[in-house]
Structure 1
Amino acid sequence: MNNKKVCEVEILVTSDIHGHIYPTDYRTTEEQSLGLAKIASLIQRERRHIPDLLLLDNGDLIQGSPMASYFIKQGASVPHPAIAVLNHLAYDAAVPGNHEFNYGQDVLRRVMADSEFPWLSANIVDAGTGKPAFGRPYIVKQAGPSDDPVKVAVLGITTHYIPHWENPLHLEGWEFRDALETTKAWVSLIRETERPDLLIVSYHGGFERDLVSGEASEKLTGENQGYAICRKAAGIDVLITGHQHRFLAEQLGEVTVIQPGSLGQALGKIVVHLEKRGEQWGICRKSAELLRVDDSVKADEAVLKMLSGLEAETQRWLDQPIGKVEGDMRIPSPFICRMADHPFIEFVNRVQMNAADAEISCAALLSEDSRGFGAIVTMRDVLGNFMYPNTLTVLRLKGRDIRAALEQTAAYFVMDPDGNPAVNPAYMKPKAQHYNYDMWEGIRYELDIARTFGERVVKLTDLSGRPIGEEQEFEVVMNSYRAGGGGDYDMFRGRPVVREIGIDMAELVAEYIREHRTIQAGCNHNWRVIGHDPMVQ
Structure 2
Amino acid sequence: MLRKTLVFMLIIISVFVLADVQLQILATSDSHGRFLPYDYAVNSENNAGSLAQVYTVVKKLRAENPNTILIDVGDTIQDNSASLFINDAVNPMMLALNEIGYDVWVLGNHEFNYGIPALEKVMKQFKHPENLLGGNVYKPDGTRLAKPYTIIEKDGIKVGIIGMVTPNIKKWDASNLANYKVTNPIDETREAIKELKGKVDIIIATEHMALDDEYDVKGSGALDVIAANPEINVFVAAHAHVKIANEYYYKGKLYKENELTDEIKNNGTLIVEPYKWGRTISQVLINFKKENGKYVVESRSSKNIDMKAKHGNEVEVVPADKTLETELQPYNERAISYAEKVFGEMKGGNLVPDNTIKGSCIAKLQPNAMIDLINKTQMKYGERIAGRKIDVASAAVFREDSNIKEGKIANSDMALIYKYDNTLYVLEIKGKQLKEYMEWSAAYYNQFKDGDLTISFNPDIRGYNYDMFNGVKYEIDISKPAGHRIVNLRKMDGTPIKDTDVLTLAVNNYRANSQLLKPGAIFKDGEDLPKLLGKSTDVPEFVDGRIRDLLRKYIKEELNGVLTPKYDNNWKIIGYKWDPKYRAAAIKLINEGKINLIAAGRSSSNSVSVTKKDVDALTSSYMIKEGDTLSSIAKKVGSNYMYLAELNGISAPYVIHVYDELLIPKK
Residue 468 (structure 1) aligns with: 497
Residue 167 (structure 2) aligns with: 160
Residue 285 (structure 1) aligns with: 299
Residue 632 (structure 2) aligns with: none
Alpha-carbon deviation of 1:89? 1.2
Q: For residue 332 of structure 1, what is the amino acid of its counterpart?
A: D
2:465 maps to which of 436, 448, 466: 436
Q: Alignment partner of 1:324: what SS?
A: strand
Partner deviation per Cα, 1:29-61 (whole Å, 9 max, x = no partner): 133311111111111110111123101110000
1:47 aligns with 2:62: yes
| Contact residue 58 and residue 94 of structure 1 kept, 8 A | yes
Gaps of 5+ in 2: 1-8, 251-267, 309-315, 384-389, 538-544, 588-667
- Separation (CA, whole Å) in 1 of partners of 2:77 and 2:275: 16
Q: For residue 206 of structure 1, what is the amino acid of its counterpart?
A: A
| Contact residue 143 and residue 151 of structure 1 kept, 8 A | yes
- Separation (CA, whole Å) in 2 of partners of 1:418 and 1:36: 47
The TM-score with structure 2 as length reference comes to 0.73
Residue 517 (structure 1) aligns with: 561
- 1:523/1:507 Cα in 2 relative to 1: closer, same or farther (>3 Å)? same
Within 5 Å, which residues of 2 pair with 1:21-36? 21-26=35-40, 27=42, 29-36=44-51
- Separation (CA, whole Å) in 2 of partners of 1:347 and 1:281: 61
- Separation (CA, whole Å) in 2 of partners of 1:309 and 1:384: 23
Alpha-carbon deviation of 1:234? 3.3
Q: For residue 439 of structure 1, what is the amino acid of its counterpart?
A: M
Within 5 Å, which residues of 2 pair with 1:95-114? 95-114=106-125
Residue 323 (structure 2) aligns with: 302
Partner deviation per Cα, 1:57-83 (whole Å, 9 max, x = no partner): 1000001112x13323xx433x11010
Q: For residue 57 of structure 2, what is the amino acid of its counterpart?
A: L
- 1:20/1:262 Cα in 2 relative to 1: closer, same or farther (>3 Å)? same
Identity of aligned residues (%): 25
The TM-score with structure 1 as length reference comes to 0.90
Residue 600 (structure 2) aligns with: none
Alpha-carbon deviation of 1:132? 1.7
- 1:369/1:489 Cα in 2 relative to 1: closer, same or farther (>3 Å)? farther
Q: For residue 55 of structure 1, what is the amino acid of its counterpart?
A: L
Residue 626 (structure 2) aligns with: none
Residue 193 (structure 2) aligns with: 187
| Contact residue 331 and residue 370 of structure 1 kept, 8 A | no
Residue 214 (structure 1) aligns with: none
1:198 aligns with 2:202: yes
**Bigger mean CA offset, 514-523 vs 279-288:** 514-523
1:143 aligns with 2:154: yes
- 1:223/1:438 Cα in 2 relative to 1: closer, same or farther (>3 Å)? farther
- Separation (CA, whole Å) in 1 of partners of 2:419 and 2:443: 25
Q: Alignment partner of 2:39: what SS?
A: coil
Q: Alignment partner of 2:191: what SS?
A: helix
2:522 maps to which of 490, 504, 509: 490
Alpha-carbon deviation of 1:312? 1.6
| Contact residue 184 and residue 234 of structure 1 kept, 8 A | no
| Contact residue 156 and residue 202 of structure 1 kept, 8 A | yes
Q: Alignment partner of 1:200: what SS?
A: strand
Alpha-carbon deviation of 1:373? 4.7
**Bigger mean CA offset, 415-424 vs 359-368:** 415-424
Residue 546 (structure 2) aligns with: 504
- Separation (CA, whole Å) in 1 of partners of 2:217 and 2:148: 24
Alpha-carbon deviation of 1:226? 0.6
Residue 419 (structure 1) aligns with: 452
Alpha-carbon deviation of 1:24? 2.0
- Separation (CA, whole Å) in 2 of partners of 1:271 and 1:513: 53
- Separation (CA, whole Å) in 1 of partners of 2:240 and 2:515: 14
1:127 aligns with 2:140: yes
Alpha-carbon deviation of 1:279? 2.8
Alpha-carbon deviation of 1:225? 1.9
Q: For residue 272 of structure 2, what is the amino acid of its counterpart?
A: I
- Separation (CA, whole Å) in 2 of partners of 1:191 and 1:422: 53
- Separation (CA, whole Å) in 2 of partners of 1:296 and 1:443: 49
Q: Alignment partner of 1:276: what SS?
A: strand
Q: For residue 43 of structure 1, what is the amino acid of its counterpart?
A: V
Residue 457 (structure 1) aligns with: 486
Q: Alignment partner of 1:451: what SS?
A: coil
Q: For residue 426 of structure 1, what is the amino acid of its counterpart?
A: P
- 1:416/1:303 Cα in 2 relative to 1: closer, same or farther (>3 Å)? farther
- 1:80/1:480 Cα in 2 relative to 1: closer, same or farther (>3 Å)? same
| Contact residue 133 and residue 174 of structure 1 kept, 8 A | no
Alpha-carbon deviation of 1:417? 6.4
**Bigger mean CA offset, 484-493 vs 396-405:** 484-493
- Separation (CA, whole Å) in 1 of partners of 2:216 and 2:56: 38
Residue 321 (structure 1) aligns with: 342
Residue 366 (structure 1) aligns with: 398
2:376 maps to which of 335, 350, 355: 350
Q: For residue 277 of structure 1, what is the amino acid of its counterpart?
A: E
Within 5 Å, which residues of 2 pair with 1:198-277? 198-208=202-212, 219-222=215-218, 224-249=220-245, 250-253=247-250, 254-277=268-291
- Separation (CA, whole Å) in 2 of partners of 1:462 and 1:402: 12
**Bigger mean CA offset, 484-493 vs 416-425:** 484-493
Alpha-carbon deviation of 1:125? 1.5
| Contact residue 128 and residue 173 of structure 1 kept, 8 A | no
Q: Alignment partner of 1:514: what SS?
A: helix
CA RMSD of aligned residues (A): 2.2
Q: For residue 133 of structure 1, what is the amino acid of its counterpart?
A: L
Residue 212 (structure 1) aligns with: none
Alpha-carbon deviation of 1:455? 1.5
- 1:471/1:417 Cα in 2 relative to 1: closer, same or farther (>3 Å)? same
Alpha-carbon deviation of 1:167? 4.6
- Separation (CA, whole Å) in 2 of partners of 1:13 and 1:28: 28
Residue 213 (structure 1) aligns with: none
Residue 86 (structure 1) aligns with: 97
Q: Alignment partner of 1:485: what SS?
A: helix
| Contact residue 36 and residue 50 of structure 2 kept, 8 A | yes
Alpha-carbon deviation of 1:456? 1.1
Which 4+ stretches in 1 moved above 4 angstroms?
A: 486-489, 533-537
Q: For residue 231 of structure 1, what is the amino acid of its counterpart?
A: A
Residue 387 (structure 1) aligns with: 419
Residue 174 (structure 1) aligns with: 180
- Separation (CA, whole Å) in 2 of partners of 1:318 and 1:227: 40
| Contact residue 205 and residue 223 of structure 1 kept, 8 A | no
**Bigger mean CA offset, 322-331 vs 306-315:** 322-331
The structure with more radius of gyration: 2
Residue 215 (structure 1) aligns with: none
Bigger relative contact order (CA 8 A; separation at least 6): 1
| Contact residue 327 and residue 522 of structure 1 kept, 8 A | no
- 1:112/1:121 Cα in 2 relative to 1: closer, same or farther (>3 Å)? same
| Contact residue 43 and residue 336 of structure 2 kept, 8 A | no
- Separation (CA, whole Å) in 2 of partners of 1:326 and 1:401: 38
Number of residues of Structure 1 aligned to a counterpart in Structure 2: 512
- 1:165/1:373 Cα in 2 relative to 1: closer, same or farther (>3 Å)? farther
Q: Alignment partner of 1:426: what SS?
A: coil
| Contact residue 398 and residue 463 of structure 2 kept, 8 A | yes
- Separation (CA, whole Å) in 2 of partners of 1:371 and 1:517: 17
- 1:109/1:270 Cα in 2 relative to 1: closer, same or farther (>3 Å)? same
Q: For residue 93 of structure 1, what is the amino acid of its counterpart?
A: V
Partner deviation per Cα, 1:149-196 (whole Å, 9 max, x = no partner): 11111111111110101151x22442100111111122122215xx20
| Contact residue 555 and residue 563 of structure 2 kept, 8 A | yes
Q: For residue 503 of structure 2, what is the amino acid of its counterpart?
A: F
| Contact residue 244 and residue 273 of structure 2 kept, 8 A | yes
- Separation (CA, whole Å) in 2 of partners of 1:366 and 1:300: 31
Q: For residue 465 of structure 1, what is the amino acid of its counterpart?
A: G
- Separation (CA, whole Å) in 2 of partners of 1:420 and 1:399: 34
Partner deviation per Cα, 1:226-245 (whole Å, 9 max, x = no partner): 11111111321111110111
| Contact residue 326 and residue 519 of structure 1 kept, 8 A | yes
Q: Alignment partner of 2:66: what SS?
A: coil
- 1:200/1:176 Cα in 2 relative to 1: closer, same or farther (>3 Å)? same
Q: For residue 453 of structure 2, what is the amino acid of its counterpart?
A: N
- Separation (CA, whole Å) in 2 of partners of 1:332 and 1:364: 18
| Contact residue 17 and residue 264 of structure 1 kept, 8 A | yes
- Separation (CA, whole Å) in 1 of partners of 2:116 and 2:134: 15
